[in-house]
Amino acid sequence: MLMAFVLNACNITKQLRDSQQQLYKGSTIKVIGETRNDVVNPISDNLKQKPNKKFLGITKLKMRMYYFGSKHGDGKIGAYMRDKYGEPPVILDTAFIESSIKGMKGYLRSVGFYYPVINYEVKSRRQRATVNYVINTGNVYHIGSYQINCADKNLYDIIKGNEKEALVIPGYRLKQDVLLDEQKRIVSLLRNYGYYTFSTEFVGFDVDTANNNGNVNVSLNILNKGIYEVHKVHINKNIYVNIEPNYDINTYKNKDTINTPFFYYIPNRYQLNHKVLEQNMFLTSGDVFKQQALTVTYNRLGDLSVFKYINITPKPYVQNDTQYIDYYVRLSPNIKYDYIIEPQAIYSDQNNTFTNQSSNGNYGVAAILQFNNRNTFKNAELLKLTYRSSFEAQGKVNGTSWFNATEQSLTASLTFPRLLLFPKLDKNYRFINTRSILTTSGIYELNTNFERRVFTTGIIYQLNKKYISFYITPFEVSYTRNTVNSDTLQSLINKDIYLFSMFSNNLILGGRFGFTYSDKAKNKGNHYVFIRWDVLELSGNTATALNKILDRPFNETNTYNILGVNYSQFAKTALDFRYNTKHDENNATVFRVFAGVGLPYGNSPKFLPFERRFWVGGANSLRAWLPRSLGPGGYYEFGQIDYSGDVKLEFNAEYRFNMYNRWLEGAFFVDAGNVWMTKKDDARPLANFAFDRFANELGIGTGFGTRLNFDVILIRLDFAIPLHDPSYNVGSRWVINNFNQDWLFDNLNFNFGIGYPF
């Protein structure tokens, strides 16, 4: 059968039923005139006929499958090959050429080219046809003048008074999208000034292209509601809040209604403090209607997490020649208690380097049990308890069982839908939602070499805007206690001050703040930026200041301690920048730059705590290296255990493409980076960061990956090899020069991951 498939339709065109038919191979587009990428690239989107799709980069393969399946009739194999994997040949249709020209002219007109000339030529060879388009865009039209035509002086004054925000600007190229966006802006503007019934049907534009100088006169026309009727401002009147799935608006004002200062409230036995609703509702009786207030109210109520359904119905009416609006707010409560049980198969970047000098990650199993309690104290709080239990295999060591590593953790968090101690910020329109999170966690980790106990508690403030989210942690305590169980590891610790710092008990007393930004929603996922900047983390400053004020003495190591533990003092910042470019529906490129630096000083002048150090390698970093197996800088010693650093630079580029039917994807990638120490140490030459040599100490790797994209989960397999390895001596670091079959086998690194690496 395989031989039949290979020999079948050796020449695809022989399968065409009509000798006049031509297999459509695609189109070329040549643009004369305006050649800016933002004009040229979208033109191809208007081609109405698409050639056959590729499978594994081969065009004919899908057609061969189609013909092979068709020849075997409606049998199970034939139908499966024809309908599941096959694709009938795309035959050139001249009707599509005409519609494509019409679409391209429409697009060019929408971006300012009102009189383009488009010619085409069909080139045929052996019943294969390619359509070549030549487009002369002609002159581009710019906005010459912009005027407002509005009979209603009140509306005119509002629009004129906000003219600085206008999107139609003289001198700029005329674009249809700009006119549509300006139309939406004016509607939003007037609705925020109380004109509830104003809509896009009352906004129009006149475009005059009669001048031959390339300038267009644009007139904005604001229409009245009727010939003798102007638009009127609406005033908020009554707000009715009903926590009930079904209701009759006529029963709002009954004996069960609570008259709050801001609205009528019928809780219907649902125990939610009305002050929570007051804090998150921006509809106030007596105020002029504002669309922004209605939108923010929707968002804030949705963020409370105690409602599964929210509906706000404005009801306009006229009373004493005044336009009023009553609001009927329908809230359906979410379930109060729920739990989640999540079994996991895990791959951990933790490794067992201490006894076998291997940096391979560990495989294991885990389970998460999560319990949620909504509206815990009747103020829409969310109490979340999460217990995680995992067991990992580090290999049999000294007769131990296979699953010889475990981690048990318990986390409790209490989320308040407001900023504790800062009530005025909650009423700020600029923030979509605000919340305060009290969190406490305990972690117990046991493996063949050591035990670790970590206790952390703190408070987090979150303020979210449209594209940016801020976080502030004014107070955080983290205590780590380590116990070494391995004599081998203990002997290494006694000889290495870096390992000593890694396994010493540690206390972090500090705070941090930062933000994340993404314009993916604004740019519809085509070209977007993602930024996460942990702007600053400080630890130990307050404790040191108090110790000095209280004139406490130093301990034997000439530092301060709390409860017998030396606390860390440091400053740290880290920036993660990503730029995503979607070329078309099948191809995308992603770039990432990560830069971070931590500076220890004061009470811990030599080392950052291990939890705050940087490292590279692994499935989401430099994929040609195993986790924590490169660095710092150009330093390397046989048997080395600690590869962490105080400074990190990482650069990644990845080209992603669809291989088959959306669920099978491929990628080519290049990774570069390393970590360094901030301070020079004679015992570790070349480990510190230096501007005159850091570029030559970047680890560089490349590779290929495949991804199984099932929408709800993406499984990633990446294969990578090193190109430049800074652990070698200068002059021998381009290890790719050693490439041969044996070298490839020894240096090929396999990475398994869930989700994209960045």
Q: Which of 200, 222, 244 is the last residue of a domain?
A: 222
Name the 3-class secondary structure at 445.
Answer: strand
DSSP 448-460: SSEEEEEEEEEEE
Q: CA dist 652 to 201, 586, 669, 712, Å?
A: 48, 20, 7, 25
Q: What is the mean pLDDT of residues 462-487?
A: 90
Is 755 within the bounds of a domain?
yes
Burial 419-458 (b: 16+ CB within 10 A, else e): beeeeeebeeeebbbbbbbbbebebebbbbbbebebebeb
600-641 confidence digits (pLDDT tens) = 999 999 889 988 999 999 889 999 999 889 989 999 988 788
Query: What is the Cα–Cα distance from 261 to 267, expressed in whole angstroms?
Result: 16
105: its two tokens? 């002219």
Q: Given this model, what pLDDT does residue 353 score?
A: 45
Which CATH number is 642's domain given?
2.40.160.50
Query: What is the Cα–Cα distance from 85 to 69, expressed in whole angstroms?
Result: 9
* One domain, residues 403 and 452: yes
Q: What is the mean pLDDT of residues 262-274?
A: 90
* One domain, residues 298 and 180: no
Q: Does pLDDT of 55 surpass 60?
A: no
* One domain, residues 666 and 736: yes
* Of 696 and 402, more confident: 696
Q: Given this model, what pLDDT does residue 79 score?
A: 63
Q: CA dist 18 to 8, 13, 15, 97, 505, Å?
A: 19, 10, 9, 20, 82
Q: What is the mean pLDDT of residues 351-369?
A: 61
Is 190 within the bounds of a domain?
yes
* One domain, residues 43 and 164: no
Q: What is the mean pLDDT of residues 349-358?
A: 45
Instruction: Give percent of the chain with pLDDT exceeding 90.
Output: 48
Query: What is the Cα–Cα distance from 478 to 498, expressed in whole angstroms?
Result: 20
Query: What is the Cα–Cα distance from 159 to 163, expressed in whole angstroms?
Result: 6
Q: Does pLDDT of 351 surpass 80?
A: no
Q: Which of 164, 190, 222 is the last residue of a domain?
A: 222
Element (H, E) at 667: strand 664-676
**3-class DSSP string for 153-179:** HHHHHHHHHCHHHCCCCCCCECCHHHH
65-109 confidence digits (pLDDT tens) = 666 666 666 666 666 666 666 777 777 888 888 899 999 898 888
* One domain, residues 121 and 206: no
* One domain, residues 343 and 486: yes
Q: Given this model, what pLDDT does residue 54 score?
A: 64
163-214 confidence digits (pLDDT tens) = 999 999 998 888 888 999 999 999 999 999 999 999 999 999 998 877 667 7
Residue 669 lies in domain: 614-758
pLDDT category at 592 given cuts 50, 70, 90 is very high
Q: Given this model, what pLDDT does residue 394 score?
A: 64
Q: Given this model, what pLDDT does residue 606 score?
A: 87
* One domain, residues 217 and 252: no
Q: Given this model, what pLDDT does residue 85 score?
A: 63
Q: Given this model, what pLDDT does residue 102 score?
A: 92
* Of 3 and 435, more confident: 435
Q: CA dist 123 to 89, 117, 134, 663, Å?
A: 18, 20, 13, 35
* Of 468 and 43, more confident: 468
* One domain, residues 319 and 339: no
437-448 confidence digits (pLDDT tens) = 999 999 999 888
Q: Does pLDDT of 277 surpass 60?
A: yes
Name the 3-class secondary structure at 21.
Answer: coil
Query: What is the Cα–Cα distance from 326 to 283, expressed in whole angstroms?
Result: 10
Q: What is the mean pLDDT of residues 270-296?
A: 93
pLDDT category at 449 given cuts 50, 70, 90 is confident
* One domain, residues 383 and 407: yes
Is 691 within the bounds of a domain?
yes
Q: Does pLDDT of 364 surpass 50?
A: yes
Q: Does pLDDT of 337 surpass 50?
A: yes
pTM of the predicted protein model: 0.78
Is 371 within the bounds of a domain?
yes
Is 562 within the bounds of a domain?
no
Instruction: Give percent of the chain with pLDDT exceeding 70.
Output: 86
Is 383 within the bounds of a domain?
yes
* Of 88 and 578, more confident: 578
Hey, which bits of 585-643 come out as E strands? 587-600
Q: Does pLDDT of 541 surpass 90?
A: yes
Q: Given this model, what pLDDT does residue 514 score?
A: 97
118-134 confidence digits (pLDDT tens) = 999 888 887 788 889 99
Lowest-pLDDT range, 492-501, 703-712, 730-739? 492-501
Is 313 within the bounds of a domain?
yes
Q: Given this model, what pLDDT does residue 165 score?
A: 92
Which CATH number is 107's domain given?
3.10.20.310
Is 477 within the bounds of a domain?
yes
* One domain, residues 340 and 464: yes
pLDDT category at 706 given cuts 50, 70, 90 is very high
Q: Given this model, what pLDDT does residue 531 score?
A: 97
Q: Which of 453, 474, 495 is the last residue of a domain?
A: 495
Q: Does pLDDT of 4 surpass 50?
A: no
201-252 confidence digits (pLDDT tens) = 999 999 887 766 778 889 999 999 888 889 999 999 999 999 975 445 455 4
Report the number of distinct structural domains present in the chain: 5
Q: Given this model, what pLDDT does residue 569 score?
A: 95
Lowest-pLDDT range, 304-318, 488-502, 640-654? 488-502
DSSP conformation class of 226 = B
Q: Does pLDDT of 358 surpass 50?
A: no
Query: What is the Cα–Cα distance from 318 to 325, expressed in whole angstroms?
Result: 9
Q: What is the mean pLDDT of the chain?
A: 85
* One domain, residues 324 and 251: yes
Q: Does pLDDT of 311 surpass 60?
A: yes
* One domain, residues 355 and 478: yes
